[in-house]
Structure 1
Amino acid sequence: MSDNSVLGRAKSFLYKNARLIDRKRFEFLFEDGTKESVIGALRAYQNPDGGFGHALEPDIRCPYSQPVPTEVALALMDEVGCLDAELLDGIIRYVRGITLPDGGMPFVFCNAKDYSHAPWWGVERDDVASVNPTGLLIGYLSKQNARMDIRQEEWFLRNTAYLWRVFEQEQPSGFHDGIQWITFLQNASDQEKAAVYLARIDDWLQQPGVIEFDPEAEGYVHKVLDWAPKRDSYAGRVIPQGEIERHLHALIGQQQEDGGWPISWPAVSPGAEAEWRGFVTVERLKTLKSYGMI
């Protein structure tokens, strides 16, 4: 008999449509899968230069290493609690190599344009630092304890100095910048300094339009559970519990007939949409599990 539960329908969707990496994530998070199997699937996306490509970020279809897919790889290793030494050493080598002279890393490299890509990945310059994804890359590398020696290396200090300069001069321009700030600040070695900027983040998060409180809002907006996908998410401190509960019930209702969750932006191809929906479906299940809904 088929399983008509939220989890059962999602599992059916994932096995029909999702990438191996997202099926392995599902198995690890919800069944008896191993972290090693997730790492094994992730390994196929790493290039000899240590960076990640091959559409690990499904809107960047090129095989070449790019900063954001490399950030995704770190996030997935963090998700399963397994910082594979070989993968991590490659990432460190790659990030060291793409750090710009004054610190920071590019948003994306121009060679992404040689393959199908979402419009926002088509840049004319790749020699300009961007807080996205520098914040997350350095944040995750600050969080890990397997290679603590890198925190004193010149390239790492350059990136850290760049981020502090950005925080002093700017404020986040939206969700993608916001999560870069938060991830770095939560893991920065100087927590006394970070607290000053986190207080500014608290104020910014409460500005109208930063967090979308309408659970049925359409288009590319970032709702309550995008900002607080887990019980201990940083942004949860400024979101009323009643809003979180309202969005959780709406999230369950947004599971589609095929068992997966939709994406809110145009995909570059049907294949990319299926890949994204597989990734997003695992993310939605993680959120529901964190809040005790499944």
Structure 2
Amino acid sequence: MTKKLGREAFGRARQFLLTGGARKLEAALFRYEFERGSIEDVYLELEKFQNDDGGFGRALEPDLRCAASSALATTTALQLLLSENIRNEAMIGRAMQYLVNSYNDNRTGWDIIPKEAELSSRAIWWNYGAFEDHWGNPNAEIVGYFNVVPVAGHSDLTAELNDYASQYLQEKSDLKEMHEMLCYVRWANTLSKEAYEAIGNKLDEFIDNCVARMPEDRIGYGCPPLMLVDSPKSRYYAKYEAVIPGDLDQMIESQGADGTWLPNWTWGRFEDEWETAKTEWQGIITLNSLRTLRRFGRLDTE
């Protein structure tokens, strides 16, 4: 019999998201996606993280508490804003203008976080210059956004960046960093069939290097298949079809008594601020877990 998350367990997750410490953003998203709540409430909460320059910051990505806009937080927002049922053209347009204005020729892309981040509490890996040796994070993902949201007057730059993204993937990337891999997957999903086929083999190699297929290979922080495959409609579902049922069982079994799923990392500093971020991550991960379980038909809430 297929294991499913039952009504009582779902109710505990719901209670945390609505009254137990999750951010108002995740609460609004839950209401909208699971209870036919208002999309305007989602926009209202997300707007609180968008700055006057159009970029997003203000700890939208909880591990970076910096108020200033960053490519990191802006890509986090665009992942949400470009989803089919949440799309908001005004907020997207402002975010894309921020990316145009913050483009760095010397980087052939964007700094993932700004210098101002050094003045704020943050996870130990978030220092200015982070991921410089893995260009694709977040640059490949950002190039994909220029593919799906063309910005007037910048078609030549978009074409050049797509060429660079392809070249970097095939010639320069060490094909080992999971976040760069996920950014490249998001970029690849914006390509034409012909363009995807040109980089598909190399991207498959990247995925194979980063995704821990078998449970016994997953020690601590890493990329399990469900981080890449969020529904049976995923391009990569067939690749991991044999292990995904067990992973979904494990997801259900790992729900905490408080109804949440926990992050499997810590900051290593700023312990008081980490406790705030940890609670915010609980909300994000819990909402994402419910989304995944629903897409795979693993919610039993009738």
TM-score, normalisation: structure 2: 0.86
List alignment gaps of at least 5 residues for structure 1.
none
* 1:202 aligned residue: 204
Once the two structures are TM-superposed, the CA of residue 125 in structure 1 deviates from its matched residue by: 7.7
Question: What is aligned with 1:38?
Answer: 42
SS in 2 for 1:187: coil
What letter corresponds to residue 89 of structure 1 in structure 2? G
SS in structure 1 of the partner of residue 63 of structure 2: coil
Change (3 A) 1:12 1:93: same
Whether the 8 Å CA contact 2:261–2:282 is kept in 1: the answer is: yes
- Residue 283 of structure 1: SS of its match in structure 2? helix
Do the aligned partners of residues 215 and 256 (structure 1) sit closer, same or farther apart at CA in structure 2, a change above 3 Å counting?
Answer: farther
Q: Superposed, which structure 2 residues align to 1:128-277 within 5 Å? A: 130-144=135-149, 148-150=150-152, 152-171=154-173, 172-188=175-191, 190-207=192-209, 210-214=211-215, 217-239=218-240, 241-267=241-267, 269-277=274-282
CA, structure 1 residues 66+204, in 2 after alignment: closer, same or farther (shift >3 Å)?
closer
Higher relative contact order (CA 8 A, sep 6+): 2
Which has the higher mean CA deviation after the structures are superposed, 34-43 or 283-292? Answer: 34-43
Task: Say if 2:31 and 2:38, in contact at 8 Å, map to a contact too.
Answer: yes
Residues 53 and 69 in structure 1, CA contact (< 8 A), matched pair in contact too: yes
2: distance between equivalents of 1:283 and 1:23? 12
The 8 Å contact of residues 178 and 223 in structure 2, kept in 1 or not, is answered as yes
Q: Does 1:287 align with 2:288?
A: no
The answer (yes or no) to whether the contact 1:50–1:90 under 8 Å persists in 2 is yes
Q: Provide the residue aligned with 1:116 in structure 2.
A: 121
Is 1:22 aligned to 2:26, yes or no? yes
Name the % identity: 24
Distance in 1, Cα, partners of 2:243 & 2:21: 32
Q: Note the C-alpha offset of 1:218.
A: 4.2
Kindly state the Cα deviation for residue 242 of structure 1 after the two structures are TM-superposed: 2.8
- Residue correspondences, number: 286
Partner of residue 95, structure 1: 99
- The answer to whether the 8 Å contact 1:142/1:151 transfers is no
Instruction: Note the alpha carbon deviations across 1:205-228, whole angstroms, 9 max, x for none.
Output: 334x63242179441122121121
Kindly state the Cα deviation for residue 150 of structure 1 after the two structures are TM-superposed.
Answer: 4.0
Q: Which amino acid in structure 1 is aligned with residue 204 of structure 2?
A: D
- CA distance in structure 2 between the aligned counterparts of 1:252 and 1:71, rounded to whole angstroms: 29
Cα distance in 1 for residues equivalent to 2:298 and 2:61: 28
Contact 1:104-1:134 within 8 A present in 2 as well? yes
TM-aligned CA distance change 1:232 to 1:49, over 3 Å:
same
Which of 57, 62, 68 is the equivalent residue of 1:58?
Answer: 62
Q: Deviations over 1:118-141 (max 9, x none)?
A: 111112589988311112222234
Alignment RMSD (CA, Å): 2.4
Contact 1:112–1:122 (Cα < 8 Å) also in 2: yes
The structure-2 alpha-carbon separation of the partners of 1:24 and 1:151, relative to structure 1 and needing over 3 Å to count, comes to: farther
Gaps of 5+ in 2: 1-5, 268-272
Please say if residues 16 and 259 of structure 2, whose CA atoms lie closer than 8 Å, have aligned partners that are also in contact: yes
Structure 1, residues 83-113: CA drift from partner, whole Å, max 9, x if none?
3232112111110012121522112222111
Give the 3-state SS of the residue equivalent to 1:234 in structure 2.
Answer: coil
CA 1:219/1:75 → structure 2, altered by over 3 Å: closer, same or farther?
same
Could you say if the C-alpha distance between residues 170 and 76 of structure 1 is closer, same or farther in structure 2, counting changes exceeding 3 Å? same
**Aligned AA (1:63):** A
| 2:90 equivalent in structure 1 | 86
Q: Which residue of 1 aligns with 2:270?
A: none
Q: CA deviation at 1:284?
A: 0.7
- Cα deviation, residue 143, structure 1: 2.9
